[in-house]
Structure 1
């Protein structure tokens, strides 16, 4: 169902956006990336965020040669213009269909950093979804799980993220077939 939706959206382009607009829509999420916003209390959640999110941010900074950072301020971190330029340039290497998929995944995870980790095969779908829901998972551990709500949300988010990631990979893949001439 989600792959069909992505295909139809890419075919129809109902919002009539061009490539630059799709790239900007994805990159704008960097300013409000889930991994960049941290809490100050409780200490156990602060430590969990540090242990789980910092390695992903460090990976992205090293992989793309950028500075992302994090903040406990409601204003969030100050993302350098060069970081946005580098990521914009990187996304420009994808075709329109793949960009539709990237924007879809970014919107699901609320994170450009996690999406890049998925697209680069640094993270699995399960890891990315868990990291995007880190605070919710923390609360579930503390207060308990509402099976009909939390379980459904988790499975739906995994399905949407997996579909978007697969869509990006399928739209970015290229292969050629070389036929050998048979000698008689």
Structure 2
């Protein structure tokens, strides 16, 4: 039936430390992923966040209110089994990074982009030895292969859980550099999200507020911040 929803069946939610990490227990039964894999979590903090989401469920289970649980499921069921493919996908953002594609007109927008994005490109160059160069217009122009390789190496250092968070940080912002800046706490996540919205803010100033676009943007913003929080919870 299309309107079927899973019901809450447990009374108590607890966290237990195991030889493989931390587990969330529903009435002493460990939570498993949708693929029926054990949900072994790397830190107690992450396990507690997942436990809190399960505890907050009322009569019916609503996965939309469980971002940490959803991300943990993705890390175990999806990213762990195709790590190389996901890392390659995200590394490829460096060759078409949002921060590198600048307007050639109007001048005010080009200056706003430069003021916001040049410092981030400088940070990546200083931190990773990887200089990405800005381009004018929307036509693709390949970046330096050595710089891309260095950034890709950083992506491949991540754990399955970190890469899961990174997937959303990069995909939602359109920028490998912004994603790395979030992981390294270069700037607050909220500020990084706003830096990814320079073009959209400009359009709003020119053409006015679009309610539907604003609602979609707010959902994306929430997902970006949730990804950053998930990443932080995976840290020992």
Common fold: TM-score over 0.5 = yes
Larger radius of gyration: 2
Over 3 Å counting, the alpha-carbon distance change for 1:75 and 1:15 in structure 2 is farther
Q: State the distance in 2 between where 1:59 and 1:76 align.
A: 23
**What residue number does 2:108 align with?**
44
**What residue number does 1:6 align with?**
71
Structure 1 residues without counterparts, runs of 5 or longer: 175-184
Cα-to-partner distance string for 1:120-161 (whole Å, 9 max, x where unaligned): 111222212211111110111122112x32432332122111
How do residues 163-182 of structure 1 correspond to structure 2 at under 5 angstroms? 163-171=226-234, 173-174=235-236
Q: Secondary structure at the match of 2:164?
A: helix
Tell me which of 56, 64, 85 is aligned to 2:120: 56
Q: Secondary structure at the match of 2:140?
A: coil
Tell me which of 135, 158, 182 is aligned to 2:221: 158
Q: State the distance in 2 between where 1:14 and 1:60 align.
A: 25
Matched residue count: 171
2:94/2:151 contact within 8 Å kept: no
**What residue number does 1:115 align with?**
179
TM-score, scaled relative to structure 2: 0.67
Structure 2 residues without counterparts, runs of 5 or longer: 1-65
Tell whether 2:33 aligns with 1:33: no
1:129/1:157 contact within 8 Å kept: no
Q: State the distance in 1 between where 2:172 and 2:202 align.
A: 19
Tell whether 2:67 aligns with 1:67: no
Measured after TM superposition, the shift of residue 109 of structure 1 is 0.6
Q: Secondary structure at the match of 1:13?
A: helix
Cα-to-partner distance string for 1:8-47 (whole Å, 9 max, x where unaligned): 2112218941x32221111011112111111101111111
Q: State the distance in 2 between where 1:2 and 1:25 align.
A: 22
Bigger shift: residues 153-162 or 48-57: 153-162
Q: State the distance in 2 between where 1:16 and 1:91 align.
A: 16
Higher helix share: 1
TM-score, scaled relative to structure 1: 0.85
Tell me which of 98, 103, 128 is aligned to 2:162: 98
Higher strand share: 2
